[in-house]
Chain A
Amino acid sequence: MSRVFVAMSGGVDSSVAAAILADRGEDVVGVWMRLVPSGGHADAPRCCGTDEAGEDARRAAAVLGIPFYALDYADVFGQRVVDHFVDAYASGETPNPCVSCNQHVKFDALLHDVVRKFGGDRLATGHYVRATTGSDGRRHLLRARDASKDQSYALYMLGQRELTRLEFPIGELRDKAETRAIAARFALATATKAESMDICFAPGDYRELVRERAPGAFVPGPVERTDGTVVGTHAGIGALTVGQRTGVGVATGERLYVLHLDTDRRAAVVGTRAEIARTTYQLSDVRFVSGDPPSSRFATNVVLRYRGIALAAHVDVDRDHATLELDAPALVAPGQAAVFYDGDEVIGGGVVMRQAV
């Protein structure tokens, strides 16, 4: 019988994913990933870690009667997600840590270990997304049935190699209520657990983490209009995000947004909505779920941030680079993922590059 590993976070979604697979009679193994080193204070046990989330996952696995392991991915998470997050903010970009975690930790390091080290056949997670197999034998990635919970944006990097090994049982559920009902049916204590909305490694204000790790990004600089007129000062590039509404300009009654962050001069360029004229963006690290683009130039609906709406666009692909042409101007922060959709299906995506002004 084939063996499926489930990445269990301790939350309700991944617990229910494990429950659904176990209920189906599959040979299920639960794993919890330690992503940050455990608390170092002297009173804490040195080992036999009692991190709350890990304990919740362990208890859920025990209720389901499946084997469970806590595995250490703190190194890869620290480098590929946290360090990248800090570096990106410090250089004026707006990273999506869920994308880097999915790309480098869950669906690279963990999937590799499941298949290559532990002899697993498949990996399942509690993501709200669907993976299906088409009549051509290829795997397809689709939005979750419950569009309001859909997480396909953060999973665009999955290719055929990964998807043949992946399962997302939660993506098939109608809504969160169904997830919770299943949790209740299996007597999982996570059934009523509150959902986390924070960035998992920086609860509260992520800027505190960036400030601590990259103090150089918190040196004040000028706030300028597009014509170079200085209209104020900011506390540091690291605290700003392209597209964010700023406090300056209140006196003139204008609504001003961060259009561009110039790290060399530590300048924040701001402007009104009308000044957001850009329709063309360069994308790097472009990849496609099927392995290839539909054609070298194709029309698509692109989503430019998590839970963002789909915008009509055309994409010109040049190996792992692409030029994105939006039908209507939009302000996009560099570092964000641009994800191409055909209806509910994810075609692929890339990372928005810093643009020349």
Chain B
Amino acid sequence: MDRVYLDHAATTPVDPEVAEAMTRVLRETHGNPSSIYAEGRAARAAVDRARDEVAAAINADPSEIVFTSGGTEADNLALRGVLKVKDGRDGLITTAIEHHAVIDTARDLELHAHVRVDVVGVDRYGVVHPDAIRDAIDDRTSLVSVMHANNEIGTIEPIAEIGALCRDRGVTFHSDAVQTVGALDIDVRETPVDLLSINAHKFYGPKGVGALYVRRGTRIATMQTGGGQEKGRRTGTENVAGIVGLGVAMRIARERRATESPRQSILRDRVIAGVEARVPDTVLTGHRTERLPNNASFCIPGTDGESLIVALDLEGFAVSSGSACTSGETEPSQVLLALGLDRELAKGSLRVTVGRSTTEAQVDRFIDALARVVARLRDSAAVAV
């Protein structure tokens, strides 16, 4: 059976060019980037080329890129690193729709590091209002962390405005841009963001590697101690092949973004229009226009996410319900509850995220299958075995 993969927000397939570059590094560049001899220099050069690619993609200086093991570590480094700095400020402001990598880190800091955490709510479209952040900032606020776009509902946040008001108040601003780097144009010289989390496997790079952009002058401590790699900000021998993969994936994403993002947004709109037309009573979640070019997310009354995912998988379609965790436990997503959605409605959540390989024909087949599956699930409530 031909599988149709529509869960690109969970992860993306590695671009063949990326895989080739990584294979070459694994085979040919075995040196430690910290070594001074030829093999070490070759490895260092490969890492530096990747650093240039990542920096160029967001208009940063290469010295501002810290490689990490992925988005979660980048988020942890941003939050823990900034709050660890002893400057008399202990306040962290974040939002109710952040990824677990941010919200759980904030809660952990609150519990174990005496950090004051303020969680700002969102409107029914998932938009964080800059006024709410402004109101929350006080003299003790050290860091504000607001994601660039939400991973579940796709809403794009006004980080330029939020960043500007943080800058006015002398507060460091972090944004988890894991869902947007590669898909949206981000220029850190224009957007007043101090820290930005990046994750390679969201834009056709490998899993297990990411980066944190750290604006020059940002006060940040390290989480780990060791040999002092990445200027001491993320010590540990570099994941050379992964970093090279990140660099190549970043370059490809930058080259393709101008054509690919509009193409995907047309497919996204086809999904939204098709689902709204074919599945009665469906509620689009997130903002109708200010959303990621690849994200179509819904709540479908009379269904539950778990059943939707299982039934669609058996029909050959990979989609998700909220986040990528499959535990066999039915709990509505915190993000959907933060929008003010009813718990029962929130249980019927479905996220469809298109990607580079998605075609119109696939979208149409998916909509047919979804209409069939939803009808069956809704009927099942009324019928015994």
Contacts of B310 in A (CB 8 A): 69, 71, 117-118
Does A29 lie within 8 Å of B314, measured CB to CB?
Answer: yes
Bound Cα distance from A3 to B310, whole angstroms = 14
Contacts of B330 in A (CB 8 A): 72
Binary per-residue interface labels of chain B (300-327) against chain A in the complex, 1 for a CB within 8 Å, 0 otherwise: 0000001100110110000000010111
Bound Cα distance from A54 to B310, whole angstroms = 16
Does B385 lie within 8 Å of A165, measured CB to CB?
Answer: yes
Binary per-residue interface labels of chain A (67-85) against chain B in the complex, 1 for a CB within 8 Å, 0 otherwise: 1011110100000000000
Does residue B114 face the partner (Cβ distance < 8 Å to A)?
Answer: no
Chain B residues numbered 261-305 whose CB sits less than 8 Å from any CB in chain A: none
Bound Cα distance from A58 to B385, whole angstroms = 26
Contacts of A46 in B (CB 8 A): 100, 325
Given A108-B385, A116-B376, A38:B329 Cβ within 8 A: yes
Across the interface, A117 reaches (CB within 8 A) one of B100, B327, B329, B377, namely B377
Does A67 lie within 8 Å of B385, measured CB to CB?
Answer: no
Chain A residues numbered 96-122 whose CB sits less than 8 Å from any CB in chain B: 108, 111-113, 115-119
B133 CB to closest chain A CB (Å) equals 26
Chain A: interface residue total (CB-CB under 8 A): 30
Given A112-B385, A162-B385, A165-B385, A118:B326 Cβ within 8 A: no
Does residue A225 face the partner (Cβ distance < 8 Å to B)?
Answer: no
Does B311 lie within 8 Å of A119, measured CB to CB?
Answer: yes
Does residue B383 face the partner (Cβ distance < 8 Å to A)?
Answer: yes
Bound Cα distance from A32 to B376, whole angstroms = 22
Given A37-B329, A47-B327, A119:B313 Cβ within 8 A: no
Given A67-B313, A111-B385, A119-B376, A49:B327 Cβ within 8 A: yes
Does residue A245 face the partner (Cβ distance < 8 Å to B)?
Answer: no
Contacts of B376 in A (CB 8 A): 116-117, 119
Contacts of A37 in B (CB 8 A): 329
Contacts of A74 in B (CB 8 A): 329
Does B383 lie within 8 Å of A118, measured CB to CB?
Answer: no
Given A112-B385, A116-B385, A48:B327 Cβ within 8 A: yes
Does B380 lie within 8 Å of A54, measured CB to CB?
Answer: no
Does residue A319 face the partner (Cβ distance < 8 Å to B)?
Answer: no
Does residue A161 face the partner (Cβ distance < 8 Å to B)?
Answer: yes
Task: Point out which of B306, B314, B326 has the most chain A C-beta atoms below 10 A from its C-beta.
Answer: B314
Bound Cα distance from A111 to B384, whole angstroms = 9
A56 CB to closest chain B CB (Å) equals 14
Given A32-B328, A47-B327, A71:B314 Cβ within 8 A: no
The residue in chain A whose Cβ has the minimal distance to the Cβ of B324 is A48
Bound Cα distance from A33 to B310, whole angstroms = 14
Contacts of B311 in A (CB 8 A): 117-119
Bound Cα distance from A37 to B385, whole angstroms = 26
Chain B residues numbered 329-366 whose CB sits less than 8 Å from any CB in chain A: 329-331
Given A116-B376, A117-B380, A71:B306 Cβ within 8 A: yes
Q: What 16 additional pairs, Cβ within 8 angstroms, besides A46-B325, A113-B307? A: A33-B328, A34-B329, A46-B100, A47-B323, A47-B326, A48-B327, A54-B328, A113-B380, A116-B376, A117-B307, A117-B310, A118-B310, A119-B311, A119-B376, A161-B385, A162-B385
In order of increasing CB-CB distance, the 10 nearest A-B pairs are A70-B328, A116-B380, A47-B325, A49-B327, A34-B328, A47-B327, A72-B330, A48-B325, A117-B380, A117-B307
Task: Show 22 A/B contacts (Cβ-Cβ < 8 Å), sorted by A.
Answer: A32-B328, A46-B325, A47-B326, A47-B327, A47-B329, A67-B313, A69-B326, A70-B327, A71-B328, A72-B306, A72-B330, A112-B380, A112-B385, A113-B380, A115-B385, A116-B376, A116-B380, A117-B310, A117-B377, A117-B380, A119-B311, A119-B314
Q: Which residues of B contact A (CB under 8 A)?
A: 100, 306-307, 310-311, 313-314, 323, 325-331, 376-377, 379-380, 383-385
Q: Which residues of A contact B (CB under 8 A)?
A: 3, 29, 32-34, 37-38, 46-49, 54, 67, 69-72, 74, 108, 111-113, 115-119, 161-162, 165
